[in-house]
Amino acid sequence: MSARDSSALRPGLDRLDPLGVVRVFLLTIFLLGIAGIAIELVLLEHYDDFWQWTPFALFGASLLVLLWLWATRSATAIKAFRATMVLFLASGAFGVFLHYDGNVEFEREMSPDVTGWPMFWEAIRGATPALAPGAMVQLGLIGLAFTIRHPALRGPMTEGASSEPRTS
C-alpha cells in the first residue's frame, strides 16, 4: 500500500492543511516556552523591579490575545497578537541590554582597570545571564511564524471565492 493509499484508512486526513498543522506545532512550542520561562523566572525570583515584570506582563497579554483569537477568529486578533510578538522581540533585545549593562557595572566595581574586549568577555559571561532574554526574541519569532497566512487574515469566504490568501 502506498503512502497515498494510507489516507483511505484515516478519512479526512488527506484534507488537512499542512500549514495549519505547522501552526498547531508552533503554538504548542510557544505555549510551552511561555510556561517554561515563567517557571524559571519565578524560581530565579525575577520580579524585583519594574523591568523584571515585563516578561510576565507580555506572557499574560499574549495569552489574553490568544483567547480573543480563539473566541473570535478575527483578523484584528491576529494583528494584536503580531503586535504583542513585536513587543516580545523588543523586550528580548532590551533585556539583553539590561543584563549586559548590569554585568558591566558589576565588573567595573570588581575590576576598574579592565576595559575593551576583556570587559566585554567578562560582562557577557557575568553573573546575570546576558543572553537569557534572547528567549523572548525566540518566542516572538515563533509567535510571528504562527500568524503567517493565518486563515483569519483571509476575510470572509464567499461562494466560489478562492481559498488562497489575499495578496494586497
Pairwise CA distance, residues 104 & 97, whole Å: 10
Res 160: pLDDT: 44
Pairwise CA distance, residues 65 & 151, whole Å: 16
Domain ranges across the chain: 17-152
Q: What percent of the chain has pLDDT over 90?
A: 76
Given the C-alpha cell 516556552, which residue does it identify? 33
Of 162, 126, 118, 145, whose CA–CA distance to 28 is shortest? Answer: 145
Q: Give yes or no for residue 1 having a pLDDT over 70.
A: no
Report residue 11's pLDDT band, with 50, 70 and 90 as the boundaries: very low
Given the C-alpha cell 477568529, which residue does it identify? 73
**Mean pLDDT for the chain overall:** 87
pTM tops 0.85:
no
